[in-house]
């Protein structure tokens, strides 16, 4: 089976995409949702494998949007993010680690940042 955490992440994305459970491909093909497992306390192996397959197929067809890194976005805004610092006669490039981190979807939405075109 694919990594459990990734399957759960993709399931959450799928669940957020569909307003009604009966519109969800998981409901149409497997008839139940992973969130219902907690109510039952168990799941049959073949149903779990079938659900995982449906979720990962949906994820492949609906890739997650990729947002720019903080550095790319700040440079687009005209903000100088890197500088130099001199210590003991040596010049160092100063860049925050966040500069290379991708902006998460919630923050991007709040800032009005569109996903990158692939």
Q: Is residue 25 part of a domain?
A: yes
49 and 8 both lie in a single domain? yes
19 and 57 both lie in a single domain? yes
Which residues, 6 or more positions from 27, have their beta carbon under 8 angstroms from its beta carbon?
A: 21, 33
Residue found under tokens 């001199």: 86
51 and 29 both lie in a single domain? yes
| Average of per-residue pLDDT values in the chain | 77
- Residue 76: domain span: 70-111
16 and 50 both lie in a single domain? yes
Instruction: Locate 12 and state its tokens.
Output: 């959450």
Q: Is residue 74 part of a domain?
A: yes
Residue-level pLDDT at 25: 86
83-87 vs 90-94, strand pairing mode:
antiparallel
Which residues, 6 or more positions from 113, have their beta carbon under 8 angstroms from its beta carbon?
A: 67, 68, 73, 103, 107
Q: Is residue 107 part of a domain?
A: yes
Q: Is residue 116 part of a domain?
A: no
Residue-level pLDDT at 12: 86
30 and 77 both lie in a single domain? no
How far does CA 62 lie from the centroid of its chain? 11
91 and 52 both lie in a single domain? no
Give the tens place of pLDDT for each residue, 16-73: 888 887 788 887 777 666 666 556 556 677 777 888 888 899 999 998 888 888 878 8
Q: CA-CA distance, 115 to 99, in Å (whole number)?
A: 17
SS3 for 24? coil
47 and 74 both lie in a single domain? no
């Amino acid at each position: 089976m694919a990594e459990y955490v990734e399957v759960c992440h993709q399931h959450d994305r799928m669940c957020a995409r569909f307003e009604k459970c009966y519109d969800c491909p998981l409901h149409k093909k497997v008839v139940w949702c992973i969130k219902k497992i907690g109510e039952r306390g168990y799941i049959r192996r073949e149903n779990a494998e079938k659900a995982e397959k449906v979720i990962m197929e949906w994820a492949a067809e609906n890739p997650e949007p990729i947002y720019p890194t903080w550095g790319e976005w700040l440079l687009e805004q005209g903000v100088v993010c890197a500088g130099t610092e001199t210590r003991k006669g040596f010049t160092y490039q100063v860049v925050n680690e966040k500069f290379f981190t991708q902006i998460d979807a919630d923050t991007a939405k709040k800032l009005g940042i569109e996903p990158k075109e692939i």
